[in-house]
Structure formats: structure tokens, C-alpha cells
Chains A and B, each alone.
Chain A
Amino acid sequence: MSRMDFAALFYNQVCDCESLVAGLDSLLSTEAHILTIVPYASEQFPSECFKTADKNRSFKLLSIHEEVTLFELVFHSPRIERNAEELRGRFFVCKHPSFPKIYMLMTIESADFVQRALLPFIEHNRFRFYLTFLKHDDIGSLLKNFRMNHGFSDLRIVRASVINRFARGVKEATIPSQTWPRLGLEGAFEYAREQNGWFRSLSFEVLKDSRVFAEATIHRNGIVKTDGEFRSVYNSLIFPICQIIQDNIELFARRSRRENPGLSVRPLTIEFARDQFENVEENAKFIEAMRQLNNASVSVMHGNPYISMAIVDYADGSTFDLWVLNPSEVVIVPQLKSSIASIKRVISHVFDNYAEGIIRDFQISRQ
């Protein structure tokens, strides 16, 4: 008797967002797959985003529905080998039901396909695909809500990639599960805080009593992987991440002076929970952290006691002024040209390399 090909059946049945979610949920409960979900924002429709290929990649639109589009990507490895390696895989792009610029890319293809073929394309085209950055505390809140909303008894951390700030540049340390036997969520976040670090990614087992229902991974850039419990992951992780992306693009949009009447400025602030710049030595740390921004010019106009910097992002020519005029905040002033992607890059650099804070509209307060 021939074995039922659930995956083929699934690809044929998907016609909208609900059938995609239901199909993936069902597929993961019957077959061993790792589903990768990439929530992103874009000004372009998927058919435009995945039309342009590079020299190693070609896209083919396999089916298109109002909410869901299915693509195939063929990737030819640039490695020089006698038999050029080819990676081929399919992925869905699903429109967010409420936010017109937000999409969720989903694929059950191999890790090799995802890591070598698909994600590098998205990363290289970051002005077309706007991913997010989840703050350390955001990840904690998302996971706590995920646990609570679906009645899971615990989330047991199995792997974590922690980045320590100020470790002579950003250094990554992957912490194996043996280091944290049966460490729960709270313990893991406490550990990272003690190390002045943040999670680049966190892999965890989803437990009900002592039974493992799924293993999932959440990345700081909003990418989520899971091998089960997709409906719960979709509702309590993917949807809130889409909301964060939406909030950020609303906050970062139209910041460039060219887009504002009279070329006026619309600055943003990063507010820290404590007086980060209380000691003047902190200025040097911050300046050093900003100088690590790659593919950019960082010019320090003034470094002590206040900080004034000019930043040019060479990825797209965006320019910013950056000021520290108060112990608890950094002010980012987008100049004549500044894209959403570039604002996101500067802010995430501050979060990754210096400290995390709350992003707000700049307000003048007479003191």
C-alpha cells in the first residue's frame, strides 16, 4: 500500500490564510517537519518582491490566491564544484489580515534550503523586506504569554544564543542545554541579565505536564521555527510579532526631512530605564559601540560632556544626527534622507551593542 503524501496534499489544498494555518497545523502533527515563519513588512507585493532574482537564485510563482501566494526558489550554490549543487524549495507568503504591508513567509523545507537559499536573499534585500528586532524583554513577554494563553505547563530552554555587550565587541556564546539543566524561562532571562547580554535566539521545548508537544525557536529578528503546535505559535507568537513590526514601521515612517514640510526634523528618542549616561565614562563606551556600526560613517562632533554624532548609513545613503543631552536618553535625528530600514538598523545597533530602551517620539520639555 502506498504511503499518503500529506505534504503534496497540503500544497494542493491551500487557498487562503486559514487553510494554510490549518494545513500546517495538521501537517506538523502527522509528519516530522520544521516550519520556518518569517514575518516581514514590505512596500511591495510578494509577486514583485520575489520576482527579481540574483545570479544564484531564481523564483517561480506556482500559485496565487488573494491572501496566499506559493513560490518556488531554485538556488545554485556559488561553490566551485564539478557538479554544481542545486537547492530547490517551496514557500508560501501569506498576507496579514489587518495590516496591508505585513506578510508572513512560511516554509517546511530543509534547514539547508532556509539558511543558504532563502534567508540570505531576504537579508541582502533588507530595503525590500523589513524584519524586526525583538527586544530582550519583548521575547520574554511573548514567551510568557504563549505559555499562559495555551495552558502549557512550561517552556524548557534547550539552546540559547546569548550576546554579551561590551565583551570587546559583540561576542556570541552559544549556551548548550547541559549548562542549564531544566532551566525555565525566568531563569534563562535572569541569567542573560546578569551577563549584560541579550538572546539572539532561544530554543525551547513546549511542555504540558512532562510531555513535550513541540520544540520551537524564536530569533531576535522575529523569525520563528517550530515542529508542532503551530496554531498556538501562530496566534501567540507570530501575530504579536507582526504587531511589533507594524508599530515600528508606523513609528519610523516619514522621518526623513525631505518628507516633512519645511524640511523639519522628526526625531526619535531611545529612553533607557536608568540614567545610563550618569558617569561621563559611559560616553566613551557609547561612542565605541556606535563606531562598530558597519558599512557606515560615524563622526563624533562632540564627545564630552554631551555627545553629538553624525552618522551616514552606506547601505542606502541615509543620514542621522545622534545626540545625548540627557543621562537617560539618546536622540536620533533623521536628516534629509533616512529610510525605515536604516532607522531600524541604527536603533537595533544601539540595542545590540549598548543598551535597550523604549523608542518614542522626541518631545521637548522645558526644564
Chain B
Amino acid sequence: MLSDLDKQINGQDKRIQAQIDDYRDTIFSILGFCSLWFFDAATNQNRTYVKVFQGRHLSPVDKDSQITHEQHKKDVCPDLGIVIRDQVGILGEVKKNFPKGHDERGKEIFAQLKAYDQELIGWPTNNERLQSHELVLLVHQTTSRAAQDFYTKDVKEGDLRFDRPFSIVQFNRSDQRVPYFFFQLVEGKIDKIEGSVDLYHGIQVPMKNLLALYSVIKLYDAKPPLAYLLNLIWDHVLTPLASEDPKFERLRINQKLEITVVVEDIIKRLHEGFSFFRWHTQYPNRQPQVPHKEWVQEACQFLVEVKEARWAKDNTELIVFYRKYADVLAHFVHLLAESETKDVLQPKIPGFETPKNKNAN
């Protein structure tokens, strides 16, 4: 029979898995939505005149002035951006779970979208400017009503108004025999679609169509669940490094292999191999490096805390005690669940926080 602690760990385990599922679904929805523009269903080809980007820094610009250092601080980084024929564009934000009711997070989301509702510089065009753009909020079907209500009651009737065309698109993943992502307009109107895409009645994007993209884009410009990031690091950075060691092939499951990895190399490999990097090779300026350094450092620090690695060279290198796990993802999900559950259960007396608790705060 499971103890209370084990039950809590199991519960946390499931929560982490759900977070990973949400993170991946967000990536799939960004790809699916953008594909409505860049992918021509009739010819089965990508449209060369459509540029798409993710996480790009765009700067607000005054009509009469150049952008300043101060304005750079106000840069916006939309979840998705689309440019059609270097003339018109769409900026979007994906919020899989839009908060229900009238809470502060809803206001923050719309404030974020309002920040996109101005002339911006930094578009992937010759002069980094665009004639016009529209705004879209992409939300999961289960929370689209909440987003719509919030927009109708708190935005339209309130002080916040959009000067540019604004729309809400809901998405869901259909659990049919052939799974697909479904996108449907629930508020506003999007004019930028070329061809015969009927977003009003809804569009299906079969997951299979975007499988090649799903396999190379596993990270976007939002912090991934730690277990998921650790899984990517272990599978795609540490395993290839370990496999260069002659002892790798015969390494038994109870044995460890010490390998050294430079933190910057982890970031570079994941950035080039598993982010939206390939979308931006033609216009790399203003694109952030994903994963962010602090996410990777946190993942490395976790490995140190659970004694699967130790720091070297002023924390720029990591010596990993590599092992062959039967299920790498399950291993890290469980370690995280254990660690997080114990953190929650540990009594915290003010002034006696452990260094880990202090860091977390």
C-alpha cells in the first residue's frame, strides 16, 4: 500500500507530465496555426513569401524618432509572428489555459497583447518595418469562452481598446483515429489568410502533416518543465557525448560514466537542434537563444543536487555521472516529483530556510 508521501509524489508526477503535455501542445498549436499561412495545402509546399518567427524581439517606435535604448527595454516578444509578402503581418500570443473569471492574469494577457498594438520595428523585412499587422490570441477550446467573455466585458467595455484588428482563435487537439489540431475563429476576423482557409468554420491540421516540424522543434521561448528539459539534455547532448567513450557500449545499467560538458555547448546544441532556430536563419538578429542560459543552468544545478553531476571550472562546465536509464523521461519526472513533494512538506521556519529554498524564492 502506498504511503501518503508516495501518493503525493505520484500526484506530483502526474502534474509534471501534464505540464509537459501542455508545453508540447503549445508548440504544436504555434506550428499548426502558422502552417495555415506558410503551408499551401493545394501544392503541399511551403509558401516562400511567408515568413514566420517565434519569440522575436520587436521594439516600439515613435513616429518621429529612432528607437532608443530605453525603448529596447520595452521590447515585445510575441509567441508567434507571421509576415506575408513583406507587407502585412500577424502577431499572436498562445495561452493554452486562459484564466476563468476576471482575475489579474487575464488583464496581464490583454495588456501583453495591447503592447503589440503599436507600430513596431524589428520585423524580418528589409527596413525592419511593416505596413500593417493584426493581433490574435490563441487559446484552448476549454478556455476560449473565458477569453471571449473577458474580451467582451472587460476589454470592449473598459478602457482597453485595440487600434488594430484583433481576434481570438480557439484550438484543440482532436482525439480521433487520425489526430489533428483544430483552429476556429471565435472573435473578430483575420484577413491575412491566402487561399481558401475557412477559419470561421474551423480548420483541421492533421498532426502527421507537421510531424517533421514537431521532431525538430521541441523548445520555444517560454520556460519548459524542468524534467522535459533534462530529458532533452540527457538524450540529445549527454548521450552523444557519452557514446564517444569506448566504455559506453558495454556500460551496464548500474555503472556510471563520467563525462564533461560545457554549459554553453548544451545551450548551443539544443538551440540549433530543437528550437525555432531554423525558422530564423535568414533573419537571426533579434531572435533570442532558446533555451535560455538560466533554464539550462537550473537543469544542471538540479543534476548536481540529486548527485548526478558536479560543477567544474566556475560552474561553466558540468561533470555528469552518466547512466543508462530504461526511461529517461520517467526518471527525471520522478526525481523532480520527489524533490518538489519533499520541498512542499519540509517545514519552513523564517530565518532557517535551506539554501535551495532561498534560491527558489
Contact = CB atoms under 8 A, between A and B. Distances in A.
Interface of A: 257, 262-265, 267, 275, 277-278, 291, 295-302, 304-306, 310, 312, 314-317, 319, 321, 323, 325-327, 331, 333, 335-337, 362, 364-367
Contacts of B209: 364, 366-367
B200 interface: no
B215 A316 contact: no
B248 interface: yes
Contacts of A326: 177-178, 208
Given A314-B251, A319-B236, A325-B207, A299 B178 contact: no
Most buried by A among B178, B235, B236: B235
B327 A297 contact: yes
A348 B209 CA distance: 26
Contacts of A302: 21, 24
Given A306-B179, A319-B239, A326-B178, A301 B329 contact: yes
Given A298-B327, A299-B329, A336-B273, A310 B216 contact: no
B326 interface: yes
Given A264-B212, A335-B236, A367-B178, 7 more contacts: A257-B273, A304-B175, A319-B236, A321-B214, A326-B178, A335-B235, A365-B208
11 contacts: A257-B216, A265-B212, A267-B211, A267-B212, A305-B175, A305-B177, A310-B235, A310-B328, A317-B242, A319-B235, A337-B240
A325 B236 contact: no
Nearest to B239: A317
B44 interface: yes
B327 A299 contact: yes
Contact of A297 (B179, B206, B326): B326
A304 B79 CA distance: 27
Contact of B324 (A265, A295, A319, A327): A295
Contacts of B326: 291, 296-298
A316 B249 contact: yes
By Cβ-Cβ distance, the 10 closest A-B pairs, closest first, are A317-B243, A299-B329, A305-B175, A333-B215, A325-B208, A306-B179, A297-B328, A314-B324, A366-B41, A317-B239
Contacts of B328: 297, 299, 310, 312
Nearest to A296: B326
Contacts, number: 121
A301 B20 contact: yes
Contacts of B239: 312, 317, 319
Interface in B209-237: 209, 211-212, 214-216, 231, 235-236
B49 interface: no
B278 interface: yes
B52 to A, nearest CB: 15
A296 B324 CA distance: 8
Contacts of B44: 364-366
A340 to B, nearest CB: 15
B176 interface: yes
B278 A262 contact: yes
Nearest to B173: A306
Nearest to A266: B212
A121 to B, nearest CB: 15
Given A317-B248, A319-B236, A325 B206 contact: yes
A37 B281 CA distance: 51
A326 B208 CA distance: 8
Nearest to A317: B243
B325 interface: yes
B88 interface: no
B115 interface: no
A277 B236 CA distance: 29
Contact of A301 (B24, B208, B243, B272): B24
A302 B251 CA distance: 29
B173 to A, nearest CB: 9
B61 interface: no
Nearest to A299: B329
A337 B328 CA distance: 17
Contacts of A336: 236, 240, 273
A317 B326 CA distance: 13
B330 interface: yes
Contacts of B176: 305
B292 to A, nearest CB: 21
B243 A297 contact: no
Contact of A325 (B211, B243, B249, B251): B211
B215 A265 contact: yes
Interface string B187-201: 000000000000000
Most buried by A among B176, B211, B324, B328: B211
A332 B25 CA distance: 20
Contact of A327 (B177, B207, B325): B177
A297 B324 contact: yes
B273 A325 contact: no
B304 to A, nearest CB: 22
A306 B207 CA distance: 10
Contacts of A264: 212, 216
A44 B23 CA distance: 45
A316 B329 CA distance: 19
